[in-house]
C-alpha cells in the first residue's frame, strides 16, 4: 500500500530526532522496575492495544494481493516493528521525563520540545503533528473502506459504493456524539477499549476459528462417506 512507506519513513524520522535527546536521558528514571508486580503492567498494557486493530485490518486486503502467503510474513514483521518502535519511543519519554511522564497528555510532543541543536534545530513538534495528521488520515480511510465493505458483505450486496456517503455521515455523527471532548476519550480508553479489544480481536475470531474447524471436519467426514 502507498501509505506504508510514508508511515515507516515518518517513524524513522521520529526515531532519528529522538536520538538527539541522548545527553538529556537519565537511566535512573526507569527504576523501580515492576515494584508492584506484573499486575499493574498487564492492566496498563490493555489500554495500549488499540494498534492491534491496524494489523487486523490487513485481512480485508487479502483478496487483492497477488501472493497471500507473504502477507503472514510481513504481518508478523510489521507487528514486531511497531512493538519495537513503541517500546523505543516510550522508553525515551520515560528516561527523559521520569515520574512526571504520567502527568503529560502527549509526552512525545513534550520530548520533542527538548530537542535543541545549536540555534537552527528546535521546535520540532510540528513535524510530529504533521506525521500524525497524515497517518491518521490514511488510517481513517482504510478503516472506513473496511467498514463499508463489511456492511456490503453482511447484507450480501453486490456493490458497496452507494453506501459510502451514508455510512460516512453516520461515522461523523457517531464520532461527534461518542467523543465530544478529550476527557470522554480518555475515559473510554480506560474502561471500554480493553473489553472491546478482548471481544473483537480475540473472543470473536476464536469462535469463528472454532466454527470453521468444525465445519471443515464435518465436510471432510461427509466426503469420506
Specify whether 140 is located in the same domain as 211. Answer: no
Specify whether 66 is located in the same domain as 97. Answer: yes
Q: Helix or strand or coil: residue 114?
A: coil
Quote the distance between the C-alpha of residue 187 and its chain's center: 18
Q: How far apart are CA 187 and CA 29, in angstroms?
A: 27
The radius of gyration of the chain from alpha carbons, rounded to an integer in Å, stands at 22
Specify whether 87 is located in the same domain as 133. Answer: yes
In tens digits, what is the pLDDT along the chain, a chain of 225 residues?
A: 333 333 444 556 677 778 878 888 888 888 888 778 888 887 777 766 666 666 777 777 777 778 777 777 887 888 888 888 888 888 888 888 888 877 777 788 888 888 777 666 667 777 778 888 888 888 888 889 888 988 888 888 888 889 999 999 998 888 888 778 878 877 877 777 777 777 877 788 788 889 988 988 877 766 655
Specify whether 80 is located in the same domain as 26. Answer: yes
What are 117's strand-pairing partners?
A: 121
Specify whether 36 is located in the same domain as 78. Answer: yes
Check: CB of residue 167 under 8 Å from CB of residue 147: yes
Q: Which of 102, 128, 130, 105 is nearest to 115 (CA)?
A: 128
Determine the structural domain holding residue 186 and report its residue range: 181-225
Q: How far apart are CA 201 and CA 87, in angstroms?
A: 22
Side-chain-side CA neighbours of residue 192 (13 Å): 7
Number of structural domains in the chain: 2
Specify whether 93 is located in the same domain as 136. Answer: yes
Specify whether 220 is located in the same domain as 146. Answer: no
Amino acid at each position: 500500500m502507498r501509505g506504508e512507506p510514508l508511515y515507516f519513513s515518518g517513524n524513522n524520522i521520529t526515531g532519528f530526532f529522538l536520538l538527539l535527546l541522548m545527553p538529556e536521558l537519565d537511566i535512573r528514571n526507569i527504576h523501580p522496575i515492576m515494584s508492584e508486580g506484573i499486575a499493574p503492567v498487564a492492566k496498563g498494557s490493555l489500554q495500549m492495544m488499540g494498534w492491534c486493530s491496524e494489523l487486523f485490518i490487513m485481512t480485508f486486503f487479502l483478496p487483492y494481493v497477488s501472493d497471500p502467503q507473504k502477507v503472514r510474513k510481513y504481518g508478523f514483521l510489521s507487528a514486531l516493528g511497531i512493538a519495537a518502535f513503541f517500546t523505543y519511543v516510550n522508553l525515551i519519554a520515560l528516561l527523559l521525563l521520569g515520574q512526571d511522564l504520567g502527568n503529560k497528555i502527549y509526552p512525545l510532543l513534550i520530548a520533542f520540545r527538548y530537542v535543541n541543536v545549536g540555534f537552527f534545530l528546535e521546535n520540532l513538534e510540528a513535524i510530529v503533528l504533521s506525521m500524525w495528521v497524515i497517518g491518521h488520515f490514511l488510517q481513517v480511510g482504510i478503516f472506513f473502506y473496511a467498514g463499508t465493505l463489511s456492511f456490503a458483505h453482511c447484507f450480501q450486496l453486490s456493490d458497496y459504493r452507494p453506501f459510502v456517503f451514508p455510512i460516512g455521515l453516520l461515522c461523523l455523527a457517531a464520532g461527534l456524539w461518542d467523543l465530544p471532548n478529550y476527557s470522554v476519550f480518555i475515559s473510554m480508553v480506560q474502561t471500554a477499549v480493553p473489553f472491546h479489544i478482548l471481544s473483537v480481536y480475540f473472543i470473536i475470531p476464536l469462535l469463528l476459528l472454532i466454527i470453521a474447524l468444525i465445519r471443515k471436519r464435518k465436510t471432510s467426514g461427509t466426503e469420506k462417506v
